[in-house]
Structure 1
Amino acid sequence: MPILHCIVHHIDKATSEQPATLRAAGTPLPATPLVDSLLAAFHDAYHAKTKAWGHFLPEQAQGEAATQPVTQALADYLAERHDFPALTRALAERLLPLVDDHLSTSGHLLCFDYRHGETRYLTLGLVHQREGFGIDDALTLVPATQLNLARMSLALRLNLSQWQEGVASRHYLSWIHDRGGKKLAEALAGALGATEGIDATGETRTLLKAFSDFVEQEELPEEQSREKTEALIDYASAQASRGEPITLEELSELLDEQQPRAFYEHIRNADYGLSPEIPPDKRTLRQFRRFTGRAGGVSISFDSHLLGSSIEYDEQQDRLIIKQVPKQLKEQLKRQG
């Protein structure tokens, strides 16, 4: 990930009574392997978080945010009317009220302008420090201060390439939306003049439901069903770790090389209402797996999200209760009766 610019500002929040203040850096950091490693660690920490995905509102719809719209500051920067320190100072100033209202400690605002493949990104994150321990050359225990990337609660990433090119996307901008941090996430969106454009959690759930329906419709053998489930989860998890969307056509090709459009056509024909590209939700993906078992001529396979709803397990009596019998199985049972 080649870094074009990197700068670190400090937002000071001495006490809960005092307003947050900005101590801005005047120049970007020089390019070093250490800065490269910091971006890589920041990237991993950011994409491990639950995020909201959206886009900038039209200027006339931004309300108070339109007094000095973020989009104008970005346009000035990309047109080289402003430099990176000026852009990030302006963005940092917008974050001060959020720190006052929602956070209680000081932090360093890490700002990166970088490329990943052919795409250019701008990313910012407020990171706090934590006290730790280290060992020096004399094998003596010494105090060591570290950036606590795992506890980052205020951060965003903008796909500059998509935004600058005017690509019709509802999710070129993302920001942290952790559980318990709803008000902070909403305040950040307001400060940016942005709105959520796609429900990543809902879309991921719908995609998994579409996959479950596809497996049931195709009546796949247990082993083949498990392989396809693993392929879906591996691909979606890898995209989530990179901060990239799931592309339905690409996923369909991965699931079946012989019929690369089978899953894609299933989604389109059943009209699930899915977007062609879906920002994956890691938490939803982690909860998805298939339960399978075979014994005494009985073979059972179902998705974990059905447990507790249409399927119940009675551990006391060792029974599995199926509330919604699949249509094809129901027809076979009726014919047998």
Structure 2
Amino acid sequence: MSIKHAIVHQLISNTAVTLNLREEELMSGEQLTELMNHTKSAFYNRSSKQYGQFAEEAGHFKALTQQWQAGGIGFTSLTTQLMKQLQLEIEEQKLETEGHWFFALETLESGDNFWFFHLKHKDGMMLTHDMNLSDARLIDFAKLGFGGYVDLTAMKNNEQKYLTVSFGFGDRVLQSALLNFVNFVDTINTAEDTDRFLEIVKAYSEALPQDKGSNYRKKAIEFCTEQDKLGETVVAEEMATVLKDEVGTEGPETLVTFMETREPEAKREFIPNRASLKKFQRYTGKTKEVSISFSNEILGRNVNFDPASETLTISNLPANLLKQLKSVVGDGD
């Protein structure tokens, strides 16, 4: 069992603030494992994660976590004191919120992670044991709130990135209070890292024979996208090896040696940014009257752009669009 400790508490803030604290940890079992898996899956599927660490100045979240790691307090005491600190943040900014907070320590081969999630609910219906209908309150994993984790091993080793957070559905007004609560400082710009790496991939693919170059770029974006889905980093050497086998690029210069020559300061390992990946997959734009989206692979083939006149020429139109256009022209005649 990878979950060593787990507990939930409840915080409700509307006309008054109510804090309901659980005194004992949750029992291990299938339901706890399922809760952990659902929350982690929802978290990993988000595109808006932020990566960093605790602020240099001492904060309650950082201080309590370190005290817990040193054996000064237990897990239940840690989470109880964290909830009291969150209550103060919510009261101070006069914010409204409700739901349960789930805390868990997960031990893996790669290290220990301290997870925290704001669980929100939705109304449902259930059949009781005597087969009567009854109202029910269900955890709404599709609208998981603010959450994240502390990589305790990385924190102990004083690494630059050990705290990952992400906001959920309806968290906009709570953002300031929640970031204060966890003492978060952003140390990594994933969009900047991804943009720079993909520009290097683009330059490298343009140096390859045309048929292999376009395929290489496509496969590179697919590789990065798959790593993002898995919640993993992109490692340039690993990607270069995989794509050499898939695309069949030959020659003395690999992507890695190309990077060393052209962009020696660029990161060889980075966290992919989903929004940046989409920019390199498709060109999109819209006004009130027009919406256009097409794969970057067909630019220069089925879609041609004239920068002088700022016009697009599109050939090989979709069959359903052609049918609509011909119908309109036919009606006009």
| TM-score interval (norm. to shorter) | 0.7 to 0.9
The structure 2 residue matched to 1:52, chosen from 30, 50, 53, is: 50
Residue 235 of structure 2: aligned partner:
247
Query: 1:5 & 1:307 partners in 2: Cα distance?
Result: 58
Query: 2:21 & 2:305 partners in 1: Cα distance?
Result: 53
Q: Specify the SS of the correspondent of 2:80.
A: helix
Q: Normalised by the size of structure 2, how large is the TM-score?
A: 0.75
Aligned length: 297
Structure 1 residue 151: Cα displacement: 1.6
Report matched runs for 1:169-318 at 5 Å: 169=160, 171-177=161-167, 184-221=174-211, 225-226=214-215, 229-230=218-219, 232-233=221-222, 235-257=223-245, 262-271=254-263, 273-289=265-281, 290-293=295-298, 300=301, 314=312, 318=315
CA contact under 8 A between 2:124 and 2:135: conserved in structure 1? yes
Query: 2:308 & 2:151 partners in 1: Cα distance?
Result: 41
Q: Specify the SS of the correspondent of 1:29.
A: coil
Q: Specify the SS of the correspondent of 2:297.
A: strand
Query: 1:251 & 1:207 partners in 2: Cα distance?
Result: 12
Residue 118 of structure 1: aligned partner:
110
CA contact under 8 A between 2:61 and 2:182: conserved in structure 1? yes
Quick check: 1:131 aligned with 2:128?
A: no
1:126-167 CA-to-partner distances (Å, cap 9, x unmatched) read: 111101234567887653321112222311211111111223
What is the letter of the counterpart of residue 123 of structure 1? Answer: W
1:11-70 CA-to-partner distances (Å, cap 9, x unmatched) read: 122x2x32x332111111111011111111100111122111111232xxx2xxx3x543
Query: 1:287 & 1:39 partners in 2: Cα distance?
Result: 32
Quick check: 1:39 aligned with 2:36?
A: yes
Query: 1:108 & 1:5 partners in 2: Cα distance?
Result: 17
Q: Specify the SS of the correspondent of 1:221.
A: helix
**Percent of pairs with identical residues:** 18
Query: 1:154 & 1:81 partners in 2: Cα distance?
Result: 27
What is the letter of the counterpart of residue 78 of structure 2? Answer: L
What is the letter of the counterpart of residue 55 of structure 1? Answer: Q
Which stretches in structure 2 are left out of the alignment for 5+ residues? 282-294, 317-333
CA contact under 8 A between 1:155 and 1:176: conserved in structure 2? yes
Query: 2:4 & 2:191 partners in 1: Cα distance?
Result: 32
1:214-249 CA-to-partner distances (Å, cap 9, x unmatched) read: 211223415x6336523542x433433343322233
What is the letter of the counterpart of residue 82 of structure 1? Answer: I
CA contact under 8 A between 2:102 and 2:117: conserved in structure 1? yes
Query: 2:309 & 2:272 partners in 1: Cα distance?
Result: 26
Residue 8 of structure 2: aligned partner:
8
Query: 2:61 & 2:197 partners in 1: Cα distance?
Result: 33
Query: 1:135 & 1:287 partners in 2: Cα distance?
Result: 47
Kindly tell me: are residues 180 and 35 of structure 1, through their superposed partners in 2, closer, same or farther at Cα, counting changes over 3 Å? closer
Quick check: 1:147 aligned with 2:145?
A: no
Residue 80 of structure 2: aligned partner:
89
Q: Specify the SS of the correspondent of 1:280.
A: coil
Which stretches in structure 1 are left out of the alignment for 5+ residues? 320-337
What is the letter of the counterpart of residue 263 of structure 1? Answer: L
What is the letter of the counterpart of residue 110 of structure 2? Answer: E
What is the letter of the counterpart of residue 44 of structure 2? Answer: H
RMSD: 3.6
Quick check: 1:75 aligned with 2:63?
A: no
What is the letter of the counterpart of residue 37 of structure 1? Answer: E
What is the letter of the counterpart of residue 198 of structure 1? Answer: I
